[in-house]
Chains A and B, each alone.
Chain A
């Protein structure tokens, strides 16, 4: 065995050990690294009730209500469950019904999530408007609030 084979061996073993360590760490952290909770997590009481967290999902189609003084109310859905959200402030440009959204805030006593920040979550689809129109027509029968592919 030459010295360089030995060094190669050390390197491979070291990197493998490092990989396993990283895998264990991230496995242990798991959901703590997630940026937001889904409405199903909230319904199943997996989300914290006593402090601020983020709620992510789709704005359900037809659920957006604009109230007085910039307050908007809408439902956030992951198609299985929905959560009511109220927000006062300026919405990002991409915010729309049927579009991904992430709201940061806390759960109110009445079961309405009071958001103090709302971010739009974009999906990975990029296409010109004509293509989107054509897809839209083809998918007219698709259920509300589901991302059109």
Chain B
């Protein structure tokens, strides 16, 4: 769609974004439940056993989408952070803040499931190779952002400090993604890449993609629900909030 047909700036105001988010949350919640339900069923009952790893490989259906999301959410946060710094929009900082906990959860989930896969397959829970270490740094970046943003009382200054941290940390994302190609790592290379296609059986691939889409829907639903409460919290003194039906009750 042409950007001129929609006035994007209209939705940069918390007062117009709040009801829009309210309409989107249930849609994406239903999508998330449906997709993750189908994805999990396929993970456990439809996807075939792996020729070498047996049943243990099924953890990748959670591990890989979680790792993708942990990186992607960080990029989205960086996008909002940059927007906030350049245009000084209030909503940008709120979006960055709303996405961070979900990103941290996915980074943790990727590391956690990876450890459970690593023990039987590699023979170790954890090694300090480039892929695992850079993903751990990503988790710490999320924690660091949340701590820094939460430590400053003035929300505007908190958002700016946080945005700066998020933007500096964005260097880490290509490092995570390409670590398995740039250096010798214990972690295997990407099964799905932009230039080589996929080295997975089709059913496994579809299961993983459905799980990934489910995680997307979950992230959107949760982040929007969170941004709604952040808007209410920060705009509590405004007239439009005091006139909301759910606030007056």
Q: Most chain-B CB neighbours within 10 Å: which of A4, A119, A126, A132?
A: A126
Once the chains are docked, how many angstroms separate the CA of A19 from the CA of B88?
A: 24
A-B residue pair count with CB separations less than 8 angstroms: 113
Identity of the chain B residue whose Cβ is nearest the Cβ of A128 in the assembled complex:
B48
What is the 8 Å Cβ interface bit string for chain A, positions 80-124, against chain B (1 contact, 0 not)? 000000000001111100010010000000000000011111111
Q: Knowing A123-B189, A126-B191, say if A92 contacts B184 (CB, 8 Å).
A: no
What is the 8 Å Cβ interface bit string for chain B, positions 3-16, against chain A (1 contact, 0 not)? 00000000000000
Q: Knowing A124-B189, A127-B51, say if A35 contacts B184 (CB, 8 Å).
A: yes
Are B51 and A132 in touch, CB under 8 angstroms?
yes
- Pick out which of these stretches binds chain A: B17-25, B32-40, B122-130, B150-158: B122-130
With both chains docked as a complex, state the minimum distance between the C-beta of A71 and any C-beta of chain B, in angstroms: 17
What is the 8 Å Cβ interface bit string for chain B, positions 32-60, against chain A (1 contact, 0 not)? 00000000000000001111110001001
Q: Knowing A35-B129, A92-B120, say if A128 contacts B50 (CB, 8 Å).
A: yes
Q: Most chain-B CB neighbours within 10 Å: which of A11, A18, A35, A132?
A: A35
Are B122 and A128 in touch, CB under 8 angstroms?
no
Contacts of B52 in A (CB 8 A): 94, 99, 122, 132
Once the chains are docked, how many angstroms separate the CA of A19 from the CA of B175?
A: 11
Say what secondary structure dominates the interface of chain A. mixed
Q: Which A residues have a C-beta under 8 Å from some C-beta of B?
A: 4, 7-8, 11, 14-15, 18-19, 22, 26, 31, 33-36, 38, 56, 91-95, 99, 102, 117-129, 131-133
With both chains docked as a complex, state the minimum distance between the C-beta of A144 and any C-beta of chain B, in angstroms: 18
Q: Which of A11, A124, A131 contacts B188 (CB 8 A)?
A: A124
Q: Which of B171, B184, B201 contacts A126 (CB 8 A)?
A: B201
Are B168 and A18 in touch, CB under 8 angstroms?
yes
Q: Which of B82, B121, B127, B128 contacts A11 (CB 8 A)?
A: B82
Are B201 and A122 in touch, CB under 8 angstroms?
no
With both chains docked as a complex, state the minimum distance between the C-beta of A32 and any C-beta of chain B, in angstroms: 9
With both chains docked as a complex, state the minimum distance between the C-beta of A112 and any C-beta of chain B, in angstroms: 21
How many positions in chain B have a CB within 8 Å of any CB in the partner chain? 40
Contacts of B48 in A (CB 8 A): 127-129
Are A128 and B184 in touch, CB under 8 angstroms?
no
23 pairs, A vs B, C-beta closer than 8 Å = A8-B86, A11-B85, A11-B167, A15-B170, A18-B168, A19-B171, A22-B175, A26-B175, A33-B182, A35-B127, A36-B184, A36-B186, A93-B120, A94-B121, A120-B122, A121-B188, A122-B52, A126-B50, A126-B204, A127-B204, A128-B48, A131-B51, A131-B201
Are A92 and B122 in touch, CB under 8 angstroms?
yes
Once the chains are docked, how many angstroms separate the CA of A85 from the CA of B60?
A: 31
> A34-B130, A126-B201, A126-B204 given. 9 additional CB < 8 A pairs?
A26-B175, A35-B128, A118-B123, A124-B188, A124-B199, A126-B57, A126-B60, A128-B49, A129-B48
- Closest 3 A-B residue pairs measured CB to CB? A92-B123, A128-B48, A132-B51
Once the chains are docked, how many angstroms separate the CA of A33 from the CA of B50?
A: 31
With both chains docked as a complex, state the minimum distance between the C-beta of A109 and any C-beta of chain B, in angstroms: 26
Q: Knowing A122-B53, A127-B201, A129-B51, say if A34 contacts B184 (CB, 8 Å).
A: yes
Identity of the chain A residue whose Cβ is nearest the Cβ of B120 in the assembled complex:
A93
